[in-house]
Amino acid sequence: MSSSTGSFFSLSFFSLLLVLLPSFYQVNSSSTPTKIGKGHRLISIEETPDGGIVGILQVKQKNKIYGPDIPLLQLYVKHETQDRLRVHITDAEKQRWEVPYNLLPREKAQSLKQTIGRSRKNPITAQEYSGSELIFSYIVDPFSFAVKRKSNGQTLFNSSSDGSESFGEMVFKDQYLEISTQLPKDASLYGLGENTQPHGIKLYPGDPYTLYTTDISAINLNADLYGSHPVYMDLRKVKGQAYAHAVLLLNSNGMDVFYRGTSLTYKIIGGVFDFYFFSGPTPLAVVDQYTALIGRPAPMPYWAFVYLHLLNDSSVVTRIGFHQCRWGYHNLSVVEDVVENYKKARIPLDVIWNDDDHMDGHKDFTLNLVNYPRPKLLAFLEKIHSIGMKYIVIIDPGIGVNSSYGVYQRGIANDVFIKYEGEPYLAQVWPGAVNFPDFLNPKTVDWWGDEVRRFHELVPVDGLWIDMNEASNFCSGLCKIPKGKQCPSGTGPGWVCCLDCKNITKTRWDDPPYKINASGLQVPIGYKTIATSAVHYNGVLEYDAHSLYGFSQAIATHKALQGLEGKRPFILSRSTYVGSGKYAAHWTGDNKGTWEDLKYSISTMINFGIFGVPMVGSDICGFYPAPTEELCNRWIEVGAFYPFSRDHANFYSPRQELYQWDSVAESARTALGMRYKILPYLYTLNYEAHTTGAPIARPLFFSFPDYTECYGLSTQFLLGSSVMISPVLEQGKSQVKALFPPGSWYSLFDMTQAITSEGGQYVTLDAPLHVVNVHLHQNTILPMQQGGMISKEARMTPFALVVTFPAGASDGKAAGKLFLDDDELPEMKLASGSATYVDFYATTSQGTVKLWSEVQESKFALDKGWKISKVTVLGLGRNGAPSALELDGKPVTAASNIELTTLEQKYLEDLQDGSEKKSIVMVEVNGLEIPVGKNFAMSWKMGISG
């Protein structure tokens, strides 16, 4: 079930302490930092055969603060691509822990010891190493390095303390690494998650940023949550032009990151410095370069966005990617009732989920044959599958210790579990005593795949939800199963530790010299998780690999699902690391049904887009406790536009399915109805994410990087480059003050409404209950869908194109795209017969409007018979009615079914500044039957005001 240990434990303990006790970190983050040692001296440097440089660093003055220094370090630098620079620093004489290259494939750094004790054949005297876009430079004594942008000389990273009071020289010990960078005051930083950030999407000076995967509820602010993403994006302006770059420190050990506004300091408890610098210079380019390294986001199946569902009256609606879950669907009849009630309320429901209620005693890969009898469950699944619905269940990593449990027996036989002193490490989660699979072990990956296969034969699920994989443990330390008592007892909260446990402090791995700000309270790093002195495959310590656990499980689960039927997998994971987006979607964990949590959901969602995990969303209406009716209305108005859109609630909360309130059902139909209309656009964004890393949901600065007003905006977001969501996020409000960046914007709910501003401005929008403001920016061609077909042809629903020009412009351009494919295939790529890609273009010039398409791989769309039935063009200046319509070079006569209509568009009153606005109109072309898979060209004449 979804991390109720995180939710309720955090309420009763963590949250209380966070409120009552100022953490050590917060007290000391603004004070003068301790400077440790005198740094290092570069004693040699030379070129390498692979085009990089390698050098040896010697510690200048040893000290014992946080342990002894490593005397000799190896520096390796390489321009891996024209826009990516790597700086790798490790022990020159001994191999150290790094993120495994088989988990995150990448170039290997220069071999250790290769340059020590041999002649220098290619010594370097210059102190700059230049690539296409970036320049690496260094100072010999004390050693520091800087990374600059070649085009304008801008310094992106500079580790020199230069006498600074805010940080000292680089430190490299076995269990303590420290390095810093100077920053300009005007730099806007984003990232460093997973973290619920109360100040919004921008990193905030003085706030704590600790990276260490932890099962505490997402309601805890400024604390290390379920994922670890040690990457940040830096956006700043140089001479009026915006430049973005990103910095990744590829290190899986626990770390504190201190951001002080003019500097940023990493304090890490192990591993190596493995920096990657991405030159951008746009935010989209940064994410493209970042995901080129860590892995492109997974292609999501089409049903995650849309498929079919038959209503009681046998009419058909197209499904729009909404998911319903709850911990507490005690038996199959409850699940059936939920599906039926969504039908009755005429609210789309695509995927029904089970938390662990379907399991036998909370054990993975089992079925409760009393509450979920297999014959009835299979009949239910056959019914929903026949109409296009899907079914997903939860899996936790902890495998119940039970001699009669086949999954456990096979796990023991295959020796798949993490060890402590030679025995499987014992922990407690929902089944009681559990062992944790070691997904770094190839045998475990094979065993896990076999268990997934066995379960799929038992229950043909459509995806898997992997939870509690930080990994979460209800106990701490070294535990034994108690004798003479039942554990768990079956009464009271299931997350109370009932094993006999004792703390483990005898090793430096369990009690490291530097204490990261774990859980926001500096709790021991083995607290409520796997003991950090436990051992993985090949002797790897949990101390080093801890934050990789959920990532490694996602990789194993992806392999298992892909091997079942050769279909595109769907996995939802709570814990994530750098590269997780290649395998899984993510939800933001246990949130609360509060207005504050509704706001936080936007920041967390768009952060994960930067992290390369674009399929993300929060529990709609909150996981616990009960939301108000008004809040649930407003939340579905936002959540309908999350890339991953799911209502999920806690066992102890009242029911909150969207049909529980008539008003919420109405808001759901409205907001989800718009999601339905823009599904072709959303699915095309899915393809863009998979091929370029581009986030589906984005901050506004992605499209408007030169407009500094939107740099910290956390209450609105974009879908793709052009669709802007401006929701109500405060109780009792019926208006929303929304920021409109420069240009013309058109309401998607009422296309006669226009907003235009040369320099950008705030506009107060009406937003009564059931209304969410969604606007489309100029220069866009948005593919949309209509509805209302018989079931077998529902995916044949006609398409419509919405074209937006700058309001009243005499000359304008617009463009859009559409990707369609067979989503059953594991790969999402443009290929003959299985996918079609269409570029749309439009111009308005000299009184003529032109619209045309260029199709790649037409066969798939032509075979499906998809048609464009309607075109709407917005923002046209008016001197007369449209006329002389031509399609593919031929005049359209009055005898055809094609009609042109004109409607006047209005500017919102807020924008009337006394100046004269240009008269604008929208033109609709109805009655078309243009094949999506065929190039077309359309034009007509009309007066365009200058």
Q: Mapped to the 3 state alphabet, what secondary structure does 461-477 carry?
A: CCEEEECCCCCCCCCCC
For the question of residue 863 being annotated catalytic, the response is no
Our CA angle for 695, 697, 702, nearest 5°, is 65
Is 55:46 a contact under the CB 8 Å cutoff? yes
Is 194:228 a contact under the CB 8 Å cutoff? yes
For the question of residue 822 being annotated catalytic, the response is no
Catalytic residue, chosen from 194, 357, 470, 542, is: 470
Is 684:818 a contact under the CB 8 Å cutoff? yes
* Two tokens, residue 840: 């749309």
Burial pattern 233-248, b for ≥16 Cβ within 10 A else e, equals bbbbeeeeebbbbbbb
Q: Tell which phi-psi region holds residue 216, choosing left (phi > 0), alpha (psi between -120 and 50) or beta.
A: beta
One DSSP character per residue, 592-632 reads BSSHHHHHHHHHHHHHHHHTT--SEE-EET-SBSPPPHHHH
Q: Residue 17 class from Cβ within 10 Å (0-12 exposed, 13-18 middle, 19+ buried)?
A: middle
Q: Indicate if the alpha-carbon torsion angle 401, 407, 409, 412 is positive or negative.
A: negative
Catalytic residue, chosen from 467, 637, 857, 924, is: 467
Longest dimension (CA), the chain: 91
Q: Indicate if the alpha-carbon torsion angle 655, 661, 663, 669 is positive or negative.
A: positive
For the question of residue 544 being annotated catalytic, the response is no
Is 346:376 a contact under the CB 8 Å cutoff? no
β pairing state of 743-747 and 773-777: antiparallel
Q: How far apart are CA 513 and CA 778, in angstroms?
A: 56
Q: How crowded is residue 255: how many other Cβ atoms within 10 Å of its Cβ? A: 27
Is 727:773 a contact under the CB 8 Å cutoff? yes
Is 851:866 a contact under the CB 8 Å cutoff? no
Q: How far apart are CA 925 and CA 901, in angstroms?
A: 7
Closest CA to 18 of 198, 194, 176: 198
Q: How far apart are CA 550 and CA 439, in angstroms?
A: 9
Is 362:327 a contact under the CB 8 Å cutoff? no
Q: Mapped to the 3 state alphabet, what secondary structure does 409-442 carry?
A: HHHHHCCCECEECCEECEEEECCEEEECECCCCH
* Two tokens, residue 142: 């004390």
Q: Residue 782 class from Cβ within 10 Å (0-12 exposed, 13-18 middle, 19+ buried)?
A: buried
Peptide bond into 513 cis (omega under 30): no
Give the list of residues 6+ apart from residue 458 with CB closer than 8 angstroms, or none. 365, 367, 374
Q: Mapped to the 3 state alphabet, what secondary structure does 681-702 carry?
A: HHHHHHHHHHHHCCCCEECHHH
β pairing state of 322-324 and 645-647: parallel
Q: How far apart are CA 195 and CA 654, in angstroms?
A: 28
Closest CA to 558 of 549, 547, 567: 567
Q: How crowded is residue 652: how many other Cβ atoms within 10 Å of its Cβ? A: 14
Q: How many DSSP H helices and E strands does the chain contain? A: 15, 54
Catalytic residue, chosen from 590, 619, 630, 857, is: 590
Q: How far apart are CA 676 and CA 578, in angstroms?
A: 31
Peptide bond into 281 cis (omega under 30): yes
Q: How crowded is residue 340: how many other Cβ atoms within 10 Å of its Cβ? A: 11
Q: Is 167 helix (H, G, I), strand (E, B) or coil?
A: coil
Catalytic positions, written as ranges: 467, 470, 590
